[in-house]
A and B are shown apart, each in its own frame.
Chain A
Amino acid sequence: MKKPLRVDERSLRADVNPVRLLTFKIDDRDVSARADETILTVARQNGIKIPTLCHMEGLSEHGACRLCIVEVKGMSRLMPSCVTLPRQDMEVLTKSDRVLDYRRKILELIFSERNHVCSVCVTNGHCDLQALAVEMGMTHVRYDYIYPTHPIDATHPRFSVDHNRCVLCLRCVRVCDEIEGAHTWDVMNRGISSKVITDLNQPWGSSETCTGCGKCVQVCPTGALSEKGKSVAEMVKRRQFLPYLQMMRHRE
């Protein structure tokens, strides 16, 4: 027998109707969103491409690379789409000249910071940063290269870290803390001298907390973290485990 439809009338109050779903515009297209979804999420659901670097599906948002910035009508400052929530009737532009110009400059700043020499890099051809440069049509860097001197740490039996390629997206720090639960990685110093470290800034191979799971290597966007003994062609990062682990942990 069909159940009769029951409505608790006391819960119906038009004056306190919370807005949980909303509609807004991305690049002049009407889109709908749940109020807790970021602009980036909604854009990707609708097939609108926004470049990202520190963002990684399955990890907490860091909001630091600023490549996913978008223009919101009525606001002078550009907003990072990975951490900005939409509002009803907001108008978002992801490809305005201003946005593209700023993104280009930020990408060039990243390239100028450390020694990103693709031709001798182990991830040449599989690198997120390289792909971004191609996608944005970056042909040269207008800023002076800083050319810092950074060491390579190959003390770990299976992996190595080359700080010359690091972009400080902190995906390794987050995956190690949030997914593996070891918190082997963190950042030392600040500003331009920031550097990712294992334990007490000791050689990776001597780390007491590292489980050797290699998740950090897989999520690293560049050649900063790589597997030993793999050729350039083989050094493809596998990231399928992240959504899988997320699903397995939250099933109930």
Chain B
Amino acid sequence: MTLTIEDLQNIAKIERDRQEGTTYQINVCVAAGCLSCQSGLVKEAFDTEISRRGLENWCLVKGVGCLGLCAAGPLIQVQPQGTYYQGVTVNDVSEILDSLGGSPVARLECSQHQAFFQCQQKIVLENCGKIDPERIEDYIAEDGYLGLFTALRQMTPGEVIEQVTKSGLRGRGGAGFPTGLKWTAVSKAVNNTKFIVCNADEGDPGAFMDRSVLESDPHRVIEGMAIAGYAVGASHGFIYVRAEYPLAVKRVHTAIAQAERLGVLGNNIFNTRFEFNIEVRLGAGAFVCGEETALIASIEGRHGRPRPRPPFPAEFGLWGFPTLINNVETFANIAPIIRRGGEWFAGIGTEKSKGTKVFALAGRVNNTGLIEVPMGTRLRDIVFEIGGGIPGDKRFKAVQTGGPSGGCIPEEHLDMPVDYESLAAVGSIMGSGGMIIMDETSCMVDVAQFFMEFCMSESCGKCVPCRVGTTQIYHLLHKISGGQGKPSDIETLGELCDLLKNTSLCGLGQTAPNPVISTLKYFKDEYKAHIRDKNCPAGACRMQAPEEAL
């Protein structure tokens, strides 16, 4: 028994009828952010209250993925009006139910007309906060698996790759390698066995896009991987997820089981000869495993130590077989591209960076949470419009993008568009999409030290420049932030950064100096103040008193 398009449409219809059958729908966010503010209890309270009042046929309660504005959690949305309520507790449940049909509860309302919700454009997150991530039917009702059907039944593998190439999609894991080019390379590799790997080892501190996508819409990633499998000729996929994301792991497992039961994974998918299976592999807390060759080593059950490239995984990957590795967000873009065509996607964004990008806003900003904006959006708009500015009358100082491999962007560059090239031009990178906003109370030397401590302890220890170099840089920064730096230390720092950038084995070591290089470039005065005046302008570093220093 295989699934046909009629079956798919049927499932979608039944699901839509089920949802449209009730007058109201309450979507409670049950992604990790809101769950940690007890949104699970809120959902239960709604369920109990509704069955107590016997309103099951009038109001449907649904646990959905991330609604975006994590700062206001637990967040719920009442449909069809689209009213958001923030900071909902168990005690507010009756009041909200009472208000249905009347005017909303003003006390809890979170305006849906604010810039945070209005200035976004959602492709990857189109279903986040809309569907129940634990029900495949809900995904299918939103045109889910239609992309896979189209690819398998109406397109050749070459045509699928052509659409992806045409879309201009670039890898969302950080480096921005054109996805179409990668797919072409793997499809050309001559081998009967090939693998698809989804990199969900989101190790950047300050980034939670991949987690949210997997928690809110796991089927989208599975569909993208299956389409990729068809395009390059692979029948087996792995999702490499961090063990630190138990909820995402659980939902991915559930989604795979549902997809297998329905027949969108397995043999003879949609009555074709195409077969595809997905396995989950858990990371174990190593940032370096985000690097392709280290990730492969980790799936093979070994230490996550990178090896020199070439050969690239496209030729010599998992167990030596050609392997396509893409990030969660990259795969999440595939189904819409196939459904709506590469040209539609290429119409969004800038000349060289197409589509949208998901960012995780965090740090000293009012609206922390998950956002998706077209490429080329001004950084200032992200921080001050969508992000709602800096809390507590503090002054903006810098925005850090790209995690430990990225840089700090000062106020003077706030008007630049966010795309791969512009970010690289100011010494940062797109990275996977973490965006940390810092205000005047953050010390840039301290921030550089924080990232270097991260890189030092995440360095795999294979090559000398990264293993010893990160340690030496960290020690220098530690000395400077403690008020014991020498004027010559700034020069030594610069030299070491240059050495790491040019001689390290993998991306981790080559980009590890970026936070130091960018802060040295834009905030040199702060370094000087620490060294010359033994003073931390932001008041964050604890200077040792002179006698202690002796």
Contact = CB atoms under 8 A, between A and B. Distances in A.
A4 interface: no
Given A64-B462, A66-B463, A146-B471, A191 B457 contact: yes
B461 A77 contact: no
A139 interface: no
Interface in B272-325: 286, 288, 303, 307-308, 310
Interface string A179-212: 0000000010111111000000000000000000
A109 B472 contact: yes
A2 to B, nearest CB: 40
B503 A66 contact: yes
A76 interface: yes
Contact of B307 (A63, A77, A113, A189): A63
A35 to B, nearest CB: 12
A80 B503 CA distance: 8
Contacts of B430: none
SS class of chain B's interface: helix, strand, loop or mixed? Answer: helix
Given A77-B510, A190-B461, A192-B456, A102 B503 contact: yes
Counting chain A residues whose Cβ lies within 8 A of the other chain, the interface size class is 20 to 34
Given A64-B464, A168-B467, A191 B459 contact: yes
Interface of B: 286, 288, 303, 307-308, 310, 456-465, 467-472, 475, 492, 495-496, 499, 501-505, 510
A133 to B, nearest CB: 14
Contact of B502 (A77, A84, A190): A77
A143 B475 CA distance: 10
A183 B96 CA distance: 65
Nearest to A53: B464
A113 B468 contact: yes
B510 A192 contact: no
Closest 10 CB pairs of A and B: A194-B461, A191-B459, A109-B468, A63-B308, A83-B308, A191-B461, A192-B471, A64-B463, A113-B468, A190-B461
Select the residue from A62, A66, A102 with max chain B CB neighbours within 10 A.
A66
B509 to A, nearest CB: 10
Contacts of B456: 191-192
11 contacts: A63-B308, A66-B503, A77-B502, A84-B308, A105-B495, A106-B503, A142-B492, A143-B472, A190-B303, A191-B470, A192-B456
A65 B468 CA distance: 11
Contact of B465 (A76, A106, A189): A106
B461 A105 contact: no
B461 A66 contact: no
